[in-house]
């Protein structure tokens, strides 16, 4: 498909190591994809679902030991440890290449090596970057064909340039102990082995579009962030755009596709989705604003909790041409199910492991064992299926960003919303983000950890330098967005969420946009500007009163002071690359809190 000598010699080298029986180029055609689906169904890798109810939809199960990203097996192999920083796992490149070479040796024997040329961003646009993934998994090929732009036009756009990201993936034995997700930023190279799961193997996503891209962004003066992008259309037709960084499984897909509450819908407000997971951001020379594109072409979303009330747009998106991973298989009608879809769990079903499933044994305290669908089960669906997809999704220029929002899952401490004082203070607010861990990564769930800018597992270099890059970018944006922090997840004494969330988050977004326009006042507080409680519109909200909002906006001085100590320890762990101005911001926060009477 190409004469590009850099590409051809690299493929030769990788094939000599992995020893596949054959090499097949993916051209992006529907005929080829259909043949691969048929082959995967024949081997059991995919299950064809009810084509009347779910046209073009398939089910896949990963190995039981392989259901989430593996942060402790993810490495950033820069020449020096200092470049990767203390937060990332690091091994010297030569040593890591040697380790991997042994594991890849013959790992594709008896298999096919698929060559997937793909573009992150619209092929040939200024924002776009090209990658080639080599993989022995049809599941990966079919997912990449949904999540990215794949095929002949990409390799044609590359021409004879060496400027592409090399990605090698092999499922090998799916051996947990030898699972590696490795990045060599200086070599534009990603190597993944012994996994077949999502973020570990769809190399265009977290590996390229965040880890490698964040490294490139620092070098080239732009940003790669774990952010959704959405547009809010006002009744007069104006559309304002927001990006929001929340950690994995903390609500990006849901916010990106939200349906406005009735009171706004009837006035003519609309919400448009540009992206649900990753944003690439550049300064626009003409108006000096920050512009965002979504480099992906599909959604790899969390299935559990998705239903026609929480996210009807997602539900509509996944009714066709979708691959479901690790959900429950309803055998009576050959469809899929997951916890939170509805109150009718299938009676004759297989759980995510493929075993007969008894819904009456479901225990929400032990979901992994007793659930029909794995808590991190997912759908892969084309963006074009989404009923609220923004027409700007197809724009090569991106959308101008009015507000950047950070947010985490905090049962206590963080208020519903607050505004930072300026870009530097906003960078600080992002750097101190914390969230309870979720099932999106292997390990304990529900533990509060600091997750700066939701990038803890995704920054491709030293976290201190990443903060410095944020501060540098601020100096390069003549008209920067305002920066906010939100928390939809405060709970009451019984552990119930206080704020209704989902579509009603629009009420908070509108306050944020009003602040950006200078249309509404705010109250100064030790942590930043808070809304006046009456400025959060609660019209039409059952069970939420002005007192509820007041409660959601309280600052618990002692809890915050405890957080300050935790932040100090976290900054110390990141090490001496943390910019001095962030320590100044931290000192200001501490002084403000100590002086605060509540
Ligand atoms: P990744 O794809 O892992 O990056 O996740 P994400 O940030 O896109 O998260 P997603 O929107 O898929 O939401 C994850 C979980 O949070 C789902 O179970 C949702 O039901 C739940 N969730 C999303 N938004 C809200 C909200 O506003 N309130 C509450 N209480 N739960 C929410
Ligand atoms: C996340 O974990 O943030 C995801 C899913 O979006 S994965 O692609 O597995 O990283
Ligand atoms: Mn994500």
Residue indicated by tokens 């490294």: 215
**Distance between CA atoms of residues 491 and 383, nearest Å:** 33
pLDDT tens column, 287-317? 999 999 999 999 999 999 999 999 999 999 9
Which pLDDT belongs to residue 131?
A: 98
**Distance between CA atoms of residues 269 and 328, nearest Å:** 36
What is the β-pairing status of strands 22-25 and 349-350? unpaired
CATH number, domain 5-43+70-220: 3.40.449.10
* Torsion (CA) 33, 36, 37, 38 in degrees, nearest 10: 130
Residue nearest to atom 10 of ligand 2 (CA): 199
CATH number, domain 299-384: 2.170.8.10
Residue indicated by tokens 């203390």: 86
Beta strands in 31-91 (DSSP E): 47-48, 58-60, 74-76
DSSP-derived secondary structure letter, 94: H
Q: Topology of 225-297+390-595 in CATH?
A: Phosphoenolpyruvate Carboxykinase; domain 3 (3.90.228)
DSSP string, 223-244: EEESEEEEEEE-TTS-EEEEEE
**Distance between CA atoms of residues 442 and 300, nearest Å:** 17
Q: Please, where in the chain does CATH 3.90.228.20 lie?
A: 225-297+390-595
**92: number of CA atoms within 13 Å, CB side?**
3
Which pLDDT belongs to residue 164?
A: 98
Which pLDDT belongs to residue 534?
A: 98
Give the chain's residues under pLDDT 70. none
Which pLDDT belongs to residue 208?
A: 98
Question: From the CA of 208, how far away is ligand 2's center (Å)?
Answer: 13
Contacts of 462 by beta carbon, 8 Å cutoff, 6+ apart? 82, 83, 84, 85, 86, 87, 88, 574, 575, 577
How many beta carbons lie within 10 A of that of residue 321, not counting itself? 18
Which pLDDT belongs to residue 35?
A: 98
- CA of residue 68 relative to chain centroid, distance: 13
Catalytic center residues? 250
Question: From the CA of 252, how far away is ligand 1's center (Å)?
Answer: 6
- CB of 253 closer than 6 angstroms to any ligand 2 atom: no
Ion ligand 3 neighbours (CB, 5 A) are: 248, 277
Residue nearest to atom 3 of ligand 2 (CA): 248
Which pair of tokens denotes residue 1? Answer: 């498909």
Q: Please, where in the chain does CATH 2.170.8.10 lie?
A: 299-384
Q: Please, where in the chain does CATH 3.40.449.10 lie?
A: 5-43+70-220
**Distance between CA atoms of residues 254 and 317, nearest Å:** 12
Which pLDDT belongs to residue 364?
A: 86
Ligand closest to the CA atom of residue 375: 1
């Amino acid at each position: 498909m190409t004469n590009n000598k850099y590409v051809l010699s690299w493929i030769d080298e990788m094939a000599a190591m992995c020893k596949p029986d054959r090499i097949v180029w993916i051209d992006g055609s529907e005929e080829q994809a259909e043949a691969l689906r048929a082959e995967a169904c024949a081997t059991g890798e995919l299950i064809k679902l009810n084509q009347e109810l779910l046209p073009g939809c398939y089910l896949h199960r990963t190995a039981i030991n392989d259901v989430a990203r593996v942060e402790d097996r993810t490495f950033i192999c820069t020449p020096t440890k200092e470049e990767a920083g203390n937060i990332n796992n690091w091994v010297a490149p030569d040593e890591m290449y040697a380790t991997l070479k042994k594991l890849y040796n013959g790992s594709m024997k008896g298999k096919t090596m698929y060559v997937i040329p793909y573009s992150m961003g619209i092929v040939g646009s200024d924002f776009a970057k090209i990658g080639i993934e080599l993989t022995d998994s049809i599941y990966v090929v079919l997912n990449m064909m949904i999540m990215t732009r794949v095929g002949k036009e990409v390799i044609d756009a590359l021409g004879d340039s060496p400027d592409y990201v090399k990605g090698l993936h092999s499922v090998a034995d799916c051996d947990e102990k030898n699972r590696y997700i490795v990045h060599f930023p200086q070599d534009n190279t990603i190597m993944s082995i012994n996994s077949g799961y999502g973020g570990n193997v769809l190399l265009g996503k977290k590996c390229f579009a965040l880890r490698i891209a964040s490294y490139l962004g620092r070098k080239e003066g732009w940003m790669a962030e774990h952010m959704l992008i959405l547009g809010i259309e006002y009744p007069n037709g104006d559309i304002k755009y927001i990006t929001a960084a929340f950690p994995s499984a903390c609500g990006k897909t849901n916010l990106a596709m939200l349906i406005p509450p009735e009171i706004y819908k009837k006035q003519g407000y609309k919400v448009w989705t540009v992206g649900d997971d990753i944003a690439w951001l550049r300064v626009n020379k003409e108006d000096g604003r920050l512009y965002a594109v979504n480099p992906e072409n599909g959604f790899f979303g969390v299935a559990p909790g998705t239903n026609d009330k929480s996210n009807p747009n997602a539900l509509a998106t996944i009714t066709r041409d979708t691959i479901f991973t690790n959900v429950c298989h309803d055998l009576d009608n050959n469809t899929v199910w997951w916890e939170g879809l509805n109150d009718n769990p299938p009676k004759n079903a297989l759980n995510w492991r493929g075993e007969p499933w008894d819904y009456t044994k479901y225990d929400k305290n032990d979901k992994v064992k007793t659930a029909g669908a794995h808590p991190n089960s997912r759908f892969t669906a084309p963006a074009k299926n989404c009923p609220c997809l923004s027409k700007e999704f197809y724009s090569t220029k991106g959308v101008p960003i009015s507000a950047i929002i950070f947010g985490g899952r905090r049962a206590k401490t963080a208020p519903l919303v607050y505004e930072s004082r300026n870009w530097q203070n906003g960078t600080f607010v992002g750097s101190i983000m914390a969230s309870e861990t979720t099932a999106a990564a292997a390990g304990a769930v529900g533990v509060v950890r600091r997750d700066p800018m939701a990038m803890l597992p995704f920054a491709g270099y030293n976290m201190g330098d990443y903060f410095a890059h944020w501060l540098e970018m601020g100096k390069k944006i003549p008209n920067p967005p305002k920066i906010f922090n939100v928390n939809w997840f405060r709970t009451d004494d019984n552990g119930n969420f206080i704020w209704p969330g989902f579509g009603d988050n629009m009420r908070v977004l509108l306050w944020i946009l009003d602040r950006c326009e200078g249309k509404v006042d705010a109250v100064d507080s030790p942590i930043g500007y808070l809304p006046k409680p009456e400025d959060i519109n609660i019209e039409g909200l059952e069970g939420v009163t002005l007192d509820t909002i007041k409660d959601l906006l309280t600052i618990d001085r002692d809890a915050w002071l405890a957080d300050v100590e935790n932040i100090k320890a976290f900054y110390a762990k990141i090490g001496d690359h943390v910019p001095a101005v962030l320590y100044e911001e931290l000192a200001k926060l501490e002084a403000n809190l100590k002086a605060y009477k509540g």
